Amino acid sequence: MTDTAPMLGAYVSIPKEDLQGIFDALRRMGYTLVGPTLGEGAIIYDEIEGVDDLPIGWGDEQEAGTYRLRRRDDGAYFGYAVGPHSWKKYLYPPVMTLFSVERRNGTFKLAAPSEETPRYAFIGVRACELQAIAVQDRVFLGGPYQEPHYKARRQGAFILAVNCTEPGGTCFCASMRTGPRVGPGFDLALTELEEVFLVEVGSEVGRQVLAGLDWRPAGAFELQAARQAMAEAEQRMGRRMETSDLPNLLYQNLEHPRWDEVAQRCLSCTNCTQVCPTCFCSDVVEVSDLTGQKTGRVRVWDSCFSLEFSHVHGGNIRPATRSRYRQWLTHKLASWIDQFGVSGCVGCGRCITWCPVGIDITEEVNAIRTEGAK
């Protein structure tokens, strides 16, 4: 154990059992730990207490419309790909009361939510997910009008990232240049090796967390092993997507017959947008109590796949599933870039895995590209 902290940007090694020491340090600093754990037949994100809550020794099998947990033959801490949850649910909650109004003695009292903004430590953030958070930063914080609830939660968050060495069957982050190695924006980044965690220090807070732990400078063998593991992961991606000139490809094929083909399978169930770590569509509804004395204005997640979402004065501008799927995919891969300067897709593959009918975004793009303009 050492009382000193490593330098910013340093690579150090810690014994695997010392991961609990990181968790303990974060809890002492006032963070609520949120990380991967077993639940609902999947590896989900939930509040955790320590290492024992992690899905140690568990992996998953993912394909289009298919997710299965499986036991690994080792004790890997992070030997799985991303599941149905994303960090969006903690930074941009699916249901949030914006304000409430209560009638008292013939007058109305307006009140803002009184809950204290939580300070989360996100455990096990993958490269694609870190990029997804950066994308939502652009959406909610990049313009002249910032989303205050997101901003408060984002500023208070600690990110313990994990370099991905176990891609899933629907992953294609290498195609989107978002992984498997994590980019900037983390406080600490782990690479899981056989006996140790290689740790990269990304922030001053990250340095403080490591002070007092039994760390040592990483050796050349460990650094090489980490690089090799990520290089192998890049080659084992379950999916690929050719992204060259992708916006123009989609803009020039808005009447392609492929949109009709996918519409025959698409259920407009909104699963893809709910599991997507970057989709941000929402609605605002008024919710009153049974007495009529109190009402709240509540923001809820919505989806461009919902028929009512595109209803405007005079009618619905996207009445068909064909137009709604086309809107989602072209916005995600093309017009999102025009709006925010970055793609809305990070290659996590969730929309493929959790589509009930197995619609594959990489397959749809490839079909339009190979069949040419129609």
Under 8 Å between Cβ of 150 and 141? yes
For the cut 90, the answer to whether the pLDDT of residue 1 exceeds it is no
What is the chain's mean pLDDT, rounded? 95
> Which pLDDT belongs to residue 113?
83
Residue 11 identity (one-letter amino acid): Y
Can you give the C-alpha Rg of the chain in angstroms? 22
Q: What is the pLDDT of residues 37-55, one digit of tens each?
A: 999 999 999 999 999 999 9
For the chain, domain boundaries: 11-92+115-235, 246-283+302-371
For residue 148, what are the contacts with CB-CB under 8 A and spacing of at least 6? none
Q: Cα–Cα distances in Å, from 50 out to 16, 33, 121, 126?
A: 13, 8, 12, 19
CA angle 63/68/70 to nearest 5° reads 120
- Phi, psi angles (nearest 5°) of residue 162: -135, 120
> Which pLDDT belongs to residue 372?
63
For the cut 60, the answer to whether the pLDDT of residue 203 exceeds it is yes
Q: What is the pLDDT of residues 149-178, one digit of tens each?
A: 999 999 999 999 999 999 999 999 999 999
- Phi, psi angles (nearest 5°) of residue 66: -140, 130
Q: What is the pLDDT of residues 239-259, one digit of tens each?
A: 999 999 999 999 999 999 999
pTM: 0.94
Dihedral sign for Cα atoms in the order 291, 293, 298, 303: positive
Percent with pLDDT over 70 in the chain:
98
Residue with tokens 């980019």, as numbered in its chain? 183
Q: What is the pLDDT of residues 77-127, one digit of tens each?
A: 999 999 999 999 999 999 999 999 998 888 999 988 878 899 999 999 999
